[in-house]
Structure 1
Amino acid sequence: MAGELWPSTEESYGGRTMEEGRGKTDRVVNHVVYEGSEEESERQEQQQSSKPYVLEDHHFTIETETQRGRVRLLPKFTERSKLLRGIENYRLAILETEPQTFVVPNHWDADGIFFVTRGEGSITLVHQDRRESFNLRCGDILRIPAGTTVYLINKSNNEKLVIMTLLQPVSIPGHFEAFFGPGGENPESYFSAFSSSLLEAALNTKRDKIQRLFGQREGIIIKASEEQIKAMTHHEVGGGICPFGGESKHTCNLFSKHPSQSNQYGQLYQVDPDECRDLRELNLAIGFANFTGGSMTAPYYNSRATKIAVVTNGEGHFEMACPHLSSLEFGGSSSSRGSHPQQRRSSGPSYQKVSGRLSRGVVFIIPPGHPVVTVASKNQNLQIVCFDVNALNNEKFPLAGRRNIINQLSPDAKELAFNAPAREVDEVFKNQEDEFFFEGPRQQHEREH
């Protein structure tokens, strides 16, 4: 998989600017009144928002920005909806730096997983007794443990470095500080919180020298000279422990693996927790799906994992079946449902379609057990980066295609489930010979006509 997963603004939205493209994503289709499954107050809260599973560019806040780059951060997922309580303690951030830049040393009170979506650079992790440095390229995955001091270099002469980061705070659930830095005035150094007498004693240095040292620099992303970049790259990058285990001179790359699913309609690359100790400790999986223009996925659901999906290129749409929304829309408040438990059990759940348009920068959430389909627009490939939370022992269950789970039912179970002869069930569910990626509805219509 060559190239980049996060193209320049001009290459996105079919040549439109990001602002022009954003208008299209604002028209996310959703036909429901959103819920609150425990209290009436939650129901009222959900009614104020029409899209709890979809977050767009304007939902990001800019945590820091200089002329050389910026860090954007999504708010806590539960600020969007209490339906997202399962991922409350995760935050999604995107770092973008201009060519020939340096991200000054800093640490966070959160564990982080880096995924490089564009460009090349190097990263250094500073431990108490050593440094580990790694080259970075598109597709690389690296864990940054909480509290580790880190600095980054974009060593390209002409290309941005873009890194997508999923963070798991370790102090306050769902909250972390985006920058703990030792030097400088803007942003403020953590040393500035200490009294001058304590710093003089701790550093065995006069006050005036300390003040000069901590009173410099503007911003965390700054310009670096070509000579400085060459010097840091030459002296530091080259050794270290591969985050997937074993000795390596590089981080591990998602695209060094064979895709788990691949045909003419798309490819799916994935690193699961059982393949990577660092992902296992954080209970995460990382994937990348590339849809051929006009193609679609099978309807499928995850058994345990909540998928946080970020569109990095292309356009399309998704549809998802959700029982939580319909339970309120058709069942009333939680108190009224509780007064008729027998009626509730006999009727079973009612599903509401949640659907949304997709374009670069849109984030959409798929909870476990919720069947979902994603479709690429006809004109260009659709590319999506996925972070799967609670991924240990997760299984992906396809509902269509050559190995769908309906085909695994016994003939009697099929007849009872669909109130039709098993032969007729098979005529529907055994008719699709492809697996996971399919020809999309427009492609199929054009081929048939």
Structure 2
Amino acid sequence: MGAMGDRTAVMLLMLLLSSWCLTAVTGYRGRGARGGGEEEEGGGSGRRFVLEESEEVVKAEGGEVRVVRGFGIGGRPAPMHIGFITMEPKTLFIPQYLDSSLILFVHRGEARIGWIYEDNMVERRLKMGDIIHIAAGSTFYMVNTGKGQRLQIICSIDTSESLGLGPYQSFFIGGGTYPSSVLAGFDIETLTAAFNVTTEEMDTILGARIRGPIIFYSDRAADQSRLLASCMQWKQLHKKGSLDFNDVADDEGGGEVQQEENKRWTLRNFLANLLGGQFYDRRKGKKQSPDHAPDAYNLYDRDPDFRNNHGWSIALDEGNYAPLGINDIGVYLVKLTAGSMMLPHVNPTATEYGIVLGGSAIIHLVYPNGTAAMKAEVSEGDVFMIPRYFPFCQIASLSGPFEFFGFTTSARRNRPQFLVGASSILRTMLGPELAAGFGVTEEELRKVVEAQKDAVIVASWTLPKIRGKGEDEPLLIRRMADV
């Protein structure tokens, strides 16, 4: 009985191990973006990689922040989450720092953002299409400066530095009763000694009734303060005789002239400080930022990396905008005309997170074993994820153009591998070895591979061949997505 019991125990253990191994190998197929169960019937017809659950992180009278959590594959944590910041006109997102780095993209509206960069306070004005990076631990604030316009920002939330207390953790510098400033955690004796103020003065600051993290705020007061400070500084320097009205020193003066100019408060420095922006250096032929902080990068001002009659695409990497390399995140923007398709391709370097900015489309995604992972329709506001190496394509609706923006998990130059089209790897590798891999002749394979004359983005409908005489099948326009 003892030996039989041992054999039974061993067999049960082997069965458990086999079951665990099978789950580990195929488990990602049963795990949806919503943490759901098995795939719906229809072979990948569900919305497994559409991230449909968002959580409200901030809710205030002046706006809100919602976060769509990413998810990892193979037991690894999600590399990023996607945030949506909405601010009403004349509002302020009060000063705070986060445990996560942000890449901000201005979807609609205009903003003024201030943050600490290399121990200095810097400000930038942002417009639609601008990208800017805010490092984890860097205190920042944001003001909606658009006249009567709601500000909408989409951002990546890097998880590599996160404390894991939520999608991200805010530490509010400003605040009062709600939210509380992190300063409120110190006892009053410590604070009064540190600030060198009275208890009453400290209570006035920390006891203010702030109605949430996003509050209504007039930008005029900030402009007046900035103007007054600049004028006072200008007046003081003018009294000392150190104000130089020469915009640019004569280049013939050599190094001594340059050193002397650096010591002076010039009119162009004054104007740059007054406007909170940049000045133009004629010697270098480009804009210079007095604070040396990175400027925003506007996606809509950039020429597309690829364009044809069916659409265009832009990919931004650390070579184009250095701050992307800090957290190893790339950015892309794609627009397809109505009924166009971005041909099946693979991203061998990164996972992609996409956000639909306008229109609707069908997204096809394929598992490594050649079965359909997802065929889902997405529309404005949807967030979807494309795992690294998984083949996929997007097909715009016939009702209008389809535009989507997104982030990738690599700041290196993206080199997508297209499986179909004039620039595809099938066209590049066309030969007897590839034909043998498909089990056909090279001529048969060539006929199929070279039939598509366009590259990257094509029309997703075709005109069927006209049949011979006596065959009166009507000439139909058929979408490839429906074939």
Q: TM-score range by the shorter chain?
A: 0.7 to 0.9
Structure 2 contact 278–287 (Cα < 8 Å) conserved: no
Task: Give 1:362 deviation, angstroms.
Answer: 0.8
Question: Can you give the 5+ residue segments of structure 2 that lack an aligned partner in the other structure?
Answer: 1-21, 40-45, 228-273, 280-285, 465-474
Work out the CA distance in 1 between the residues paired with 2:97 and 2:351. Answer: 27
The equivalent of 1:29 in structure 2 is none
- Distance (whole Å) between structure 1 residues aligned to residue 476 and residue 216 of structure 2: 52
Shift of 1:274: 2.8
Q: How does 1:47-86 map to 2 (within 5 A)?
A: 47=37, 51-56=47-52, 59-75=53-69, 77-78=70-71, 82-83=72-73
1:12-52 Cα distance to aligned partner (Å, 9 max, x none):
xxxxxxxxxxxxxxxxxxxxxxx953597995865268644
Bigger shift: residues 112-121 or 175-184: 175-184
Aligned to 1:433: 453
Q: Deviations over 1:159-204 (max 9, x none)?
A: 2111111121414257420343333221111111111111111111
Call closer, same or farther: CA 1:399–1:128 in 2, change over 3 Å: closer
| Structure 1 stretch displaced more, 376-385 or 41-50 | 41-50
Q: Give the AA of the match of 1:172.
A: L
The answer to whether the 8 Å contact 1:398/1:405 transfers is: yes
Secondary structure of the corresponding residue to residue 72 of structure 1: strand
The residue aligned with 1:122 is: 112
Partner residue, 1:148: 138
Q: For each residue in 1:61-106, what CA deviation from the matched residue of structure 2 results, as whole angstroms up to 9, or x when unmatched?
A: 111122221111123x33xxx5375561422111111122222111
1:92 and 2:82 correspond: yes
Q: Show the counterpart of 2:42.
A: none
Task: Determine if the alignment matches structure 1 residue 256 to structure 2 residue 256.
Answer: no
Q: How far apart, in 2, do the equivalents of 1:62 and 1:236 lie?
A: 36
Of 409, 422, 429, which aligns to 1:409? 429
Q: 1:221 maps to which residue?
A: 214
- 1:299 corresponds to which letter in structure 2? P
Residues 179 and 430 of structure 1: is their aligned pair in 2 closer, same or farther, counting only changes over 3 Å? farther
**Separation (CA, whole Å) in 1 of partners of 2:392 and 2:338:** 18
Residues 141, 252 of structure 1: 8 Å contact kept: yes
> Within the alignment, does 1:172 sit opposite 2:163 as a pair?
yes
CA distance in 2, matches of 1:140, 1:304: 25
Write out per-residue CA displacement over residues 354-403 of structure 1, whole angstroms, 9 at most, x where no aligned residue. Answer: 11110111111101111101111111211111101134354200111111
**Quick one: which of 186, 198, 203 aligns to 1:194?**
186
1:111 aligns with 2:101: yes
1:283 corresponds to which of 309, 322, 328: 328
In structure 2, C-alpha distance between the alignment counterparts of 1:224 and 1:350, rounded to whole Å = 55
Q: Secondary structure at the match of 2:173?
A: coil
> In structure 2, the residue corresponding to 1:95 is in which secondary structure?
strand
Unaligned runs of 5+ in 1: 1-34, 324-348
Displacement, 1:233?
7.9
Residue 383 (structure 2) aligns with? 363
CA contact (8 A) 2:427 2:449 kept: yes
Partner of 1:381: 401
Change (3 A) 1:145 1:294: same
> Which residue of 200, 205, 211 maps to 1:208?
200
Per-residue CA shift, 1:255-302, capped at 9, x if unaligned?
222101111211111212332221122211101111111111100010
Tell me the matched-pair count.
Answer: 381
**Aligned partners of 1:132 and 1:239 also within 8 Å:** no
**1:115-153 Cα distance to aligned partner (Å, 9 max, x none):** 111111211113474221111011111110111111111
**TM-score, normalised to structure 1's length?**
0.77
The 8 Å contact of residues 419 and 425 in structure 2, kept in 1 or not, is answered as: yes
What SS does the corresponding residue of 1:282 show, helix, strand or coil? Answer: coil
Work out the CA distance in 2 between the residues paired with 1:390 and 1:128. Answer: 25
Q: 1:281 to 1:420 in 2, by over 3 A?
A: same
Structure whose CA Rg is larger: 2
Change in CA separation of 1:351 and 1:246 when aligned onto 2, cut-off 3 Å? farther
Aligned-partner Cα distance in 2 for 1:282–1:63 = 23
Alignment of 1:257-336 (within 5 A): 257-323=302-368
The residue aligned with 1:37 is: 24
CA contact (8 A) 2:66 2:85 kept: yes
What's the TM-score once normalised by structure 2's chain length?
A: 0.72
Cα 1:262–1:233, aligned 2, differ >3 Å: closer, same or farther?
farther
Higher RCO, Cα 8 Å, sep 6+: 1
Check conservation: 1:254, 1:270, Cα contact below 8 A: no
Superposed CA deviations along residues 218-272 of structure 1, whole A, max 9, x for unmatched, are 11212222522644786463149xxxx9835952211222101111211111212
Task: Quote the Cα distance in structure 2 between the aligned partners of 1:422 and 1:232.
Answer: 74
Paired letter, 1:116: V
1: CA distance between counterparts of 2:301 and 2:86?
Answer: 24
| Percent identity for Structure 1 against Structure 2 | 23
Cα distance in 2 for partners of 1:386, 1:37 equals 30
Q: 1:127 to 1:396 in 2, by over 3 A?
A: closer
Structure 1 pair 144–443 and aligned structure 2 pair: CA distance change class (3 A): farther
